[in-house]
Amino acid sequence: MSASFRTIGLIGKYNSPDIVEPLLRLASFLEGRGVNILLDRLTAGHVGPNQFTVLPLEDVGKQADLAIVIGGDGTMLNIARTFAPFDTALVGVNLGRLGFLTDISLDTMCETIGQILDGNYSVEERMLLSAEVYTEGARRFKVLAFNDVVVSKGVKGGMIEFEVHIDGQFVYSLRSDGIIVASPTGSTAYALSAGGPILHPSVNVMTLVPVCPHTLSNRPIAVSSDATIEITMRTALDALAHFDNHSHFALREDDRLVVKRFDHCIRLLHPPGYSYYHMLREKLHWSEAY
């Protein structure tokens, strides 16, 4: 077993009874490998009485050498945001649908985790986004996002207007349904549906993807991950800022949304033979005959 992974956190999809059987099966396998197992409180609540150490989620991140997430990409996004400051390696077992981030199947879970414990894995670092909202110079909100930061129109349905600055330089004013600032991980999420490019995770860039812009010449652009992106609301109506579609914040006119790269990366571990391009072919159904 890799000496790096003596303490492993097991985290299951919130409020899903489907995690109980695979989680207990994996826990039994890990016990046989002499691993110290940690459960977060929500996961432990699904499992019921057990002999494992139960901690708040953040404490699992602080103490675990590796966290194994059983769920879908939404679960992985949540854990990634929480564990980012702790340099905890993450592995995803797919209990969801697409599984861009959770690439281990339930059928081969124990075998594949065993290979990782033996040191047979590849490491991929993924960047996160740090976002802040300012009103009249005062910070009102701060949050992390793994996929994207989105400004969108509200239920009233009218276009919103905003200005975009990058590193203090004016880029454009835009009337649209919104704009997406995406990390490379988020390039296969909402940004892809809005016409943005797919970015390999190793590319250190952020993309700005307009959503239904009034001027069709406004196209997606990519900027350095070292850039500071500022979006200033001019006509807000009931505009909202969304962060991984997990956290939300109501925007007012003249509010300023600032997006930067977060100081820490997420380390994703992949099993032997993992290929990003194979994953894209599989999830996006490329090369299929019609």
Give the DSSP letter of residue 196.
P
Domain boundaries, the chain: 7-126+265-284, 129-261
The residue-averaged pLDDT of 18-36 equals 95
Give 69's strand partners.
Answer: 11, 92
What's the predicted TM-score (pTM) here? 0.93
Enumerate the active-site residues.
Answer: 73
CATH superfamily ID and name for 7-126+265-284:
Probable inorganic polyphosphate/atp-NAD kinase; domain 1 (3.40.50.10330)
Q: Give per-residue pLDDT as tens, 116-167.
A: 999 999 999 999 999 999 999 999 999 999 999 999 998 877 889 999 999 9
pLDDT of the residue at 1: 47
Q: Specify the CATH architecture of the domain 129-261.
A: Sandwich (2.60)
Mean pLDDT (whole number) for 65-86: 95
pLDDT band at 14 (very low <50, low <70, confident <90, very high): confident
Q: Same CATH fold, 129-261 and 7-126+265-284?
A: no
Evaluate whether 199 touches 189 at the Cβ level (below 8 Å): no
Q: Is the pLDDT of residue 258 over 70?
A: yes
Can you give the pLDDT at residue 16? 86
Residues 200 and 285: their CA atoms lie apart, in Å, by: 17
3-state class of 150 per DSSP? strand
CA distances from residue 74 to 55, 70, 92, 146, 189 in whole angstroms, order as listed:
21, 11, 11, 10, 11
Hey, which bits of 64-135 come out as E strands?
66-71, 89-94, 122-126, 129-135
